[in-house]
Structure 1
Amino acid sequence: MVSTAEENLWNAIKVALFTQDSWAGNALLPTPIGSSLDRLVRLPVNEENRKRIQRELERALAFVLEEKLAKELVASVIIVDRKRYSLRLAVDGKSLVLDALLEVR
């Protein structure tokens, strides 16, 4: 199986977003990855929590720019309804939408 640099980048982003920032191996990495997104998306859907998630995304994805894996990264969180957020990522002009993973259950 051959993977491209772009696929590797998207996989690294997904790992960073959906791996808890407290995992044991984080101390071994030159740039720690992970987030507390799993905890934050369980909070009630409202503007204040949307902003908290937005800040967490920016923090969790900072490694992409720090490690020069991409030149530009824009992450936005949108409230879809009372139970769901939509996460939109744009990395060097390519976009990814992670809706199903941000539904509050």
Structure 2
Amino acid sequence: KLDELLWTFSAIDFLPHAFIDDEAAIESPILLSEDFFAPALSNLPHADVLIHLGMRMPNDVAALANRFPRIIEVVTVNEAERLAGRERYKAYRDLGHELHNFDQSKAG
């Protein structure tokens, strides 16, 4: 679904992207992957931000933090997702990561 949304972002614009195993991945500024540790991930020199849309905590946060200087967690207002997001927040905090919270639930 995210793939479709990125193509239909605007009537006159789009966000160029590719799946991580596509040939175009090396040239794409946005990469999509369902696997935190896909082999292709370590071969891409330009990826410095990981946007995590899932509910599960990554297995090896330390390895991800070494690979990506910035990890963005997206949490919706859905109660189950909020609870999972709080658990991930606590886990990142307990590992000593610098955290910033941007609550967009009241944004217009």
Q: Give the TM-score normalised by the residue count of structure 1.
A: 0.28
User: Bigger radius of gyration, 1 or 2?
Assistant: 2
Higher share of residues assigned strand: 1
Q: Give the TM-score normalised by the residue count of structure 2.
A: 0.27
| Larger relative contact order (Cα-Cα within 8 Å, sequence gap ≥ 6) | 1
